[in-house]
Amino acid sequence: MKDPNDLGCFCEHVLGKFGNLSDATEDDLAEEFGRVYLKGLPLTLYNLRSVAERCGIRLYGTDSMPANLRGFHDVYGKNKNIYYRNGDSLSGIQNTILHEIREMMETLFGEVNPDYEPLRTRARHIRANQFASAVLLPKERFKQSIYKTGLDIVALSKMYVKSCSQVLLRMGEVLKEEIFSYMALYEPLGENGSKWKEGYWTTTHNESDPDGNVHGLSGFFPRKGRAANPGSLVEMTVNKRKPHLARITMLDHQTDPSLTAITRPVLKHNMKLAGISLLVLISADRSLLEAQIEKVKPVTVGSLHRRL
């Protein structure tokens, strides 16, 4: 690499190493970024600041941030600046720095290689989020933690000091070809918390064993914005403020396996209920949850029919 202290040179190095970037995942880019800049250092804010400085980027905290933004960047000639919201969480600031670096990289790919066609705005934003998560939650180490905790979204959030939403989405990326799963995070709808809606969700599939998946259940798994069903496992968890475990039977889908679902309350530091995590596996994979079940001792509901 000509000059690792120049982000443009790093982008040129990446293009030379991977060739067609359509064949490189954000995990690939994150691994190379970590190898060049982090060199095994812990992912502290101090170290990320040092990385940004090496890349010729200045960081600024600001109180004047639009309500719908956590950060942004600007580039004037060789001057590169990233702005983040003052008072944001440590995790939020780390994510903003890496997100904006990845967006800068996308522009630089086009500058160092005129044949490269940079991603459009929405695709660039999505890839930047994936890159940030891949740096902060490295694939192989994070995967080990996923299985060690029994796929415990809340425990992983605390372990890595990351939001449950980021952990959930990263789990979807890391496990996307390994097992069948459906994961969701419910948030309060309104100030009194009497109703709950789905804020985030992701699903994965078992690519090595087609029979290790659920088929023919289009519309069964909720999507973003949908309210929790009355009498559902999510509603039980809201009311009791305790983890719940249930077997979900599919009486009209006899050819498909039953499901096992576990929910957990997400509590703020003041013990106020902030969310509900929901994880669903086929019952044949229930053993993957044992570490979580042993730790949180969920209320066992028994069998439910089509109620998540």
Say what the pLDDT of residue 41 is.
Answer: 84
Residues 115 and 174 in one domain: no
Say what the pLDDT of residue 300 is.
Answer: 94
Residues 199 and 247 in one domain: yes
- Total structural domains in the chain? 2
Distances (CA, A) of 94 to 51, 87, 113, 198, 295: 12, 13, 29, 25, 30
Cα–Cα distance measured from residue 53 to residue 92, given in angstroms and rounded to the nearest whole number: 19
Who wins on pLDDT, 203 or 269?
Answer: 203
Residue 301: inside a domain, yes or no?
A: yes
Residues 239 and 180 in one domain: yes
The last residue of one of the domains, among 136, 166, 197, is 136
pLDDT above 60: residue 273: yes
Interval 274-295 mean pLDDT:
95
Residues 293 and 167 in one domain: yes
Residues 109 and 187 in one domain: no
**Pair of tokens at residue 53:** 């400085």
Residue 144: inside a domain, yes or no?
A: no
CA angle 45, 47, 48 (to 5 degrees): 65
Residue 148: inside a domain, yes or no?
A: no
Residue 82: inside a domain, yes or no?
A: yes
Residues 131 and 170 in one domain: no
Work out whether strand 79-85 and strand 181-189 pair parallel, antiparallel, or are unpaired.
Answer: unpaired
Residue 88: domain span: 7-136
Asked whether the beta carbons of 188 and 196 are under 8 A apart, the reply is: yes
Rg (CA), the chain: 21
| Region of residue 146 (left: phi > 0; alpha: psi -120 to 50; beta: else) | alpha
Residue 2: inside a domain, yes or no?
A: no
Does the global pTM surpass 0.95? Answer: no
Query: What CATH number is given to the structural domain containing 232?
Result: 3.30.450.20
Interval 33-42 mean pLDDT:
88
| CA-CA-CA-CA torsion sign (224, 228, 234, 238) | positive
Cα–Cα distance measured from residue 2 to residue 11, given in angstroms and rounded to the nearest whole number: 11
Compute the residue count for the chain.
308
Among the residue ranges 85-94, 137-146, 204-213, 271-280, the one predicted with the least confidence is 204-213
Residue 149: inside a domain, yes or no?
A: no
Interval 60-75 mean pLDDT:
89
Residue type, 227: A
Residues 102 and 242 in one domain: no
Residues 170 and 279 in one domain: yes
The last residue of one of the domains, among 136, 168, 196, is 136
Q: Which of 2, 13, 4, 59 is nearest to 37 (CA)?
A: 4
Residues 160 and 294 in one domain: yes
The last residue of one of the domains, among 104, 136, 168, is 136
Residue 191: inside a domain, yes or no?
A: yes
Residues 129 and 163 in one domain: no
Residues 178 and 264 in one domain: yes
pLDDT above 60: residue 297: yes
Give the model's confidence band at 215: pLDDT under 50 very low, under 70 low, under 90 confident, else very high: confident
pLDDT above 80: residue 127: yes
Say what the pLDDT of residue 113 is.
Answer: 85
End-to-end CA distance of the chain: 52
pLDDT in tens, 129-163: 999 999 999 999 999 999 999 999 999 999 999 99
Query: What CATH number is given to the structural domain containing 43?
Result: 1.10.10
Residues 176 and 298 in one domain: yes
| CA-CA-CA-CA torsion sign (120, 61, 98, 134) | negative
